[in-house]
Chains A and B, each alone.
Chain A
C-alpha cells in the first residue's frame, strides 16, 4: 500500500476547494461568542453579517470570499510513508485540475512579482513547505490559501538579545500598522527565534493552530493570553470599524536560536481559511477540518 499520486492530487485539490467554502467550526464559535460580548452596535451587526455570510456560503456551496488567494500547503511526511508516483507533481497537477473544474471559477490571482502579470499558474506555485514526522505512516496536509487582504500585513524584524517587553511591543507595532486593514477579527501568529526563515515558518504554523490549544509552556501561554487582551484593547474591532474584537486568538511558537532573534508576525483574516487531511499508507483519507 502507498500514498499515491492520484490520491495526493485529489486530496490537495479538495482541501483547497473546501477551504474556500466553509470557515472552521472553532472560528464560527469564536465569532458567535464575540457577537455576544461586543459592546458596540456596529461590531455586533458586523459579526452577524459575517456569520450569515459563512452560513450562506455553506448552504449555497459558494465561496466565502471572492479572493481565493494563492494555494499554500504545509505537508508533514511520515517517515514510514511509501510513495507511488511524484508527490510535488501531484500538488501542481491537483491545482491545475481544480482551476479547470471548480464552480464557480477562480479569479486569476497568481502574480508574477516582477511583471505584475496575473494568471492561474506561475513559478513555484502552489507554495509547499515540507517537514518530516518520525515514525508516522501518513502524510499530514494543511491547505491555507493566502491573499493580499491579510497577507500583506505580515512582518518580521530581527532583534539582538531582546527582552520580552521588546518582543511584545514589536508584535503590537505590527498590529497597529495593520490597523483596520486585514479583515479583523484576525488570528495572530507569532514566531520567535530560530533564524530568519524558521521564525516565519513557525509563525505560520502558529496561525494555523486550532483555537483552544494553548502553548504547553506557561511562559508562552502567558504571552498569548496577555497579547490577546492587548490586541483587543486597541479597539479596531470587526472589519476595522470599531469594537472589542480585533483578534480571536494570538498563537505563539518559539525556537531556540543565537543572540539575534527574529520575531515574525502574521495574520489570518476572520474567515480563517485552513483545511487539513491525513493520507495513510492504507489509502485511507481522514479530513480533520
Chain B
C-alpha cells in the first residue's frame, strides 16, 4: 500500500528523503509553476549570469504546470493550471535542481536518469500529477502571489501560487535514485519476448 502525505512548504531535506516511490502527496503552501522551453532557458541564463530571479526558488517546489494567468490593476489571477510533459526539460533540470536546491519538482511523464541523480544528491523528489485534472488542481489555488516574466505568453510565465491540498501527486522519482519510469521501461522491455510469444500463439490459434 502506498502512503498518503500532506506536506507543507517549505520542505526540509528529511521531509523529502522520507518519501518513497508510489506514495501520494498533497501540497500546502507556496509552489512555482514553470512550463515552456523559453522559461527554462531564461532560468539557466540567470543562473549563468548571477542575475536575481524574480521569484526566490531556493529550496522551492517547481512544477511543470502550464496555466492561464492574468493581471488587472496589480491583482493576479490564474484561471486554470495543469501538468505538462516534463521530459522536454530534461536538459535543464539537473542544473536547476542542484543550483536552486529544489526539494520537489513535478509534472507528468517524469525526468531522465541525470535528473534522478541530481535529485538523489540534492534531496528532491519528482511528483507525477495526472494530466487532465485541470479542474481539481485549479480548485486548490488559494492565492496568486506573483506572475513574473510577463513578456512571455501565458503558459511560459513564472507563476508563484499559494495552494491548499494540491494533489495527489504520485512520488515517481524519490530522493534515493529510484525512478518508476526507469523501472517500468526496463520491466516492459524485459517482458517483450513473452509478450511477442503470446501474440504469436494467439495468431497461430486463430489460424487453425
Interface set of A (CB-CB < 8 Å, partner B) = 41-42, 45-46, 49-50, 52-54, 56-57, 60, 62-67, 104-108, 118-119, 148-149, 152, 164-165, 168-169, 172, 176, 179-181, 183, 218-219, 222, 225-227, 229-230, 233-242, 269-271
With both chains docked as a complex, state the minimum distance between the C-beta of B83 and any C-beta of chain A, in angstroms.
9
Within 8 A of A (CB), among B82-101: 82, 84-85, 87
A218: chain B residues within 8 A (beta carbon): 206
Per-residue interface assignment for chain B, residues 41 to 75, with 1 indicating a CB less than 8 Å from any chain A CB and 0 otherwise: 00000000000000000000000011110000000
Given A180-B110, A269-B131: A66 in contact with B189 (beta carbons within 8 A): no
The stretch that binds A, out of B7-15, B114-122, B142-150, B196-204, is: B196-204
Indicate if the CB atoms of B134 and A57 lie closer than 8 Å.
yes
Within 8 A of A (CB), among B157-189: 168, 170, 172, 180-181, 184-185, 187-189
Of the residues B135, B153, B181, contact of A64 by C-beta under 8 Å: B135
A149: chain B residues within 8 A (beta carbon): 84-85, 108-109, 131
Q: For the complex, give the distance between the alpha carbons of A185 and B135 in Å.
A: 19
Q: For the complex, give the distance between the alpha carbons of A105 and B66 in Å.
A: 13
Q: For the complex, give the distance between the alpha carbons of A235 and B183 in Å.
A: 10
Of the residues A56, A107, A172, A269, contact of B66 by C-beta under 8 Å: A107
Q: For the complex, give the distance between the alpha carbons of A104 and B199 in Å.
A: 46
Interface: B22 (CB within 8 A): yes
With both chains docked as a complex, state the minimum distance between the C-beta of B159 and any C-beta of chain A, in angstroms.
12
Indicate if the CB atoms of B198 and A229 lie closer than 8 Å.
yes
Select from chain A the residue with minimum beta-carbon distance to B202. Answer: A226
With both chains docked as a complex, state the minimum distance between the C-beta of B5 and any C-beta of chain A, in angstroms.
13
Of the residues A46, A227, A234, contact of B188 by C-beta under 8 Å: A234
- Please list 28 pairs of residues, one from A and one from B, whose beta carbons are closer than 8 Å in the complex, sorted by A's number: A45-B170, A49-B136, A56-B139, A62-B134, A63-B135, A67-B84, A107-B154, A118-B153, A149-B84, A165-B196, A172-B195, A179-B185, A180-B110, A181-B85, A183-B108, A183-B130, A219-B206, A222-B206, A233-B194, A233-B195, A234-B195, A236-B184, A239-B170, A240-B128, A240-B184, A241-B170, A241-B180, A271-B132
Indicate if the CB atoms of B84 and A239 lie closer than 8 Å.
no
Of the residues A107, A164, A233, A236, contact of B198 by C-beta under 8 Å: A233
Indicate if the CB atoms of B80 and A104 lie closer than 8 Å.
yes
B85: chain A residues within 8 A (beta carbon): 148-149, 152, 181
Interface: B104 (CB within 8 A): no
A241: chain B residues within 8 A (beta carbon): 22, 128, 170, 172, 180, 184
Q: For the complex, give the distance between the alpha carbons of A104 and B80 in Å.
A: 8
Select from chain B the residue with minimum beta-carbon distance to A62. Answer: B135
A56: chain B residues within 8 A (beta carbon): 135-136, 139
Of the residues B1, B22, B82, B109, contact of A180 by C-beta under 8 Å: B109
Indicate if the CB atoms of B188 and A165 lie closer than 8 Å.
no
Interface: B81 (CB within 8 A): yes
With both chains docked as a complex, state the minimum distance between the C-beta of B205 and any C-beta of chain A, in angstroms.
9
Indicate if the CB atoms of A45 and B79 lie closer than 8 Å.
no
Given A63-B80, A239-B108: A176 in contact with B153 (beta carbons within 8 A): no
With both chains docked as a complex, state the minimum distance between the C-beta of A198 and any C-beta of chain B, in angstroms.
25
A270: chain B residues within 8 A (beta carbon): 131-132
With both chains docked as a complex, state the minimum distance between the C-beta of B1 and any C-beta of chain A, in angstroms.
5
Indicate if the CB atoms of A226 and B199 lie closer than 8 Å.
yes
Indicate if the CB atoms of A67 and B199 lie closer than 8 Å.
no
Interface: B17 (CB within 8 A): no
A62: chain B residues within 8 A (beta carbon): 80, 134-135, 138
Select from chain A the residue with minimum beta-carbon distance to B36. Answer: A118
Indicate if the CB atoms of A66 and B66 lie closer than 8 Å.
yes
A119: chain B residues within 8 A (beta carbon): 153
With both chains docked as a complex, state the minimum distance between the C-beta of B113 and any C-beta of chain A, in angstroms.
14
With both chains docked as a complex, state the minimum distance between the C-beta of B139 and any C-beta of chain A, in angstroms.
7
Given A41-B1, A62-B80, A107-B66: A183 in contact with B132 (beta carbons within 8 A): yes
A237: chain B residues within 8 A (beta carbon): 184
Most buried by B among A46, A169, A226, A237: A226
A54: chain B residues within 8 A (beta carbon): 132
Select from chain A the residue with minimum beta-carbon distance to B139. Answer: A56
